[in-house]
């Protein structure tokens, strides 16, 4: 690079665009102590939480549990294929995954969230989260026990700078659950 080109680069003003809410990096927020809320709809990976008197709707990062209803038939069909089960068994597996989550969250827990929109069918806004009980991650335990697959939105884990390492760990746990025929995979034809 010539001296003239270098001076132009150095002396040319840099335009810095303001960050918008959509582009601004989000910091993790910890909510605790939290309790599972009673709600008309929840499943293994999406549920309502009460924390400091407020009701929040969260969806887990990284994992997908079977559905607990047939509101979205194409989703039930896709999950039946992915889990290797008959579509009629998806709902039962979803109810079992929900029971696992209820049991896992029967004591105080903490929620880590960046308030990322997790969309969903409910009218109440839903956010992605990581949920921890005594240093154990709910998503990891769902996968380890065969009640979820690695699927869905990844994120940089709060204490791990890249999500690929965490996803790799989850994929290994899913393979083990499939081999051992745990949870939903106990009825799998794959």
* pLDDT 10s digits, 91-121: 999 999 999 999 999 999 999 999 999 987 6
pLDDT at 7: 35
Q: Percent helix, strand, coil in the chain (nearest 5)?
A: 35, 25, 40
**18 pLDDT more than 60:** no
Among 124, 106, 109, which residue's Cα sits nearest to residue 57?
A: 124
The helix/strand count (H/E) of the chain reads as: 5, 8
User: C-alpha distances in angstroms, 33 versus 65, 133, 134?
Assistant: 24, 10, 11
Instruction: Say whether 14 sits in a helix, a strand or coil.
Output: coil
Q: How confident is the model at residue 16 (pLDDT cuts 50, 70, 90)?
A: very low
What is the Cα–Cα distance from 60 to 44, expressed in whole angstroms? 9
Kindly list the structural domains of the chain, giving each domain's residue range(s) and its CATH number in brackets, ordered by start: 26-187 (2.40.50.90)
Among 86, 68, 69, which residue's Cα sits nearest to residue 77?
A: 86
pLDDT at 184: 96
Q: How confident is the model at residue 58 (pLDDT cuts 50, 70, 90)?
A: very high
Q: Which residues of 92-118 are buried (b: 16+ CB within 10 A; e: fewer)?
A: ebbbbbbebbeebbeeebbbbbbeeeb
Q: How confident is the model at residue 49 (pLDDT cuts 50, 70, 90)?
A: very high
pLDDT tens for 59-92 read: 999 999 999 999 899 999 999 999 999 999 999 9
The mean of the pLDDT values for the chain is 85
State residue 130 phi and psi, 5-degree precision.
-115, 135
- ∠ Cα 58 63 65 (to 5°): 85
Most confident of 16-20, 22-26, 62-66, 68-72: 62-66
């Amino acid at each position: 690079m010539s001296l003239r080109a270098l001076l132009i680069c150095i002396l040319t003003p840099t335009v810095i665009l303001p960050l918008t809410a959509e582009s601004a990096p989000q910091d993790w927020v910890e909510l605790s102590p939290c309790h599972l809320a009673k709600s008309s709809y929840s499943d293994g990976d999406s549920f309502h939480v009460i924390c400091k008197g407020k009701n929040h709707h969260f969806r887990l990062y990284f994992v997908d549990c079977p559905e607990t209803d047939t509101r979205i038939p194409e989703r039930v069909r896709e999950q039946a294929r992915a889990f290797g089960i008959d579509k009629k068994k998806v709902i039962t597996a979803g109810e079992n995954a929900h029971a696992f989550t209820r049991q896992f969250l029967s004591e105080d827990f903490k929620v880590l969230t960046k308030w990322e929109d997790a969309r969903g069918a409910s009218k109440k806004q839903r956010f992605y989260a990581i949920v921890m009980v005594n240093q154990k991650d709910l998503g990891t335990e769902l996968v380890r026990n065969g009640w979820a697959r690695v699927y869905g939105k990844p994120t940089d884990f709060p204490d791990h700078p890249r999500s690929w390492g965490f996803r790799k760990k989850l994929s290994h746990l899913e393979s083990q659950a499939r081999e051992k025929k745990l949870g939903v995979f106990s009825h799998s034809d794959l």
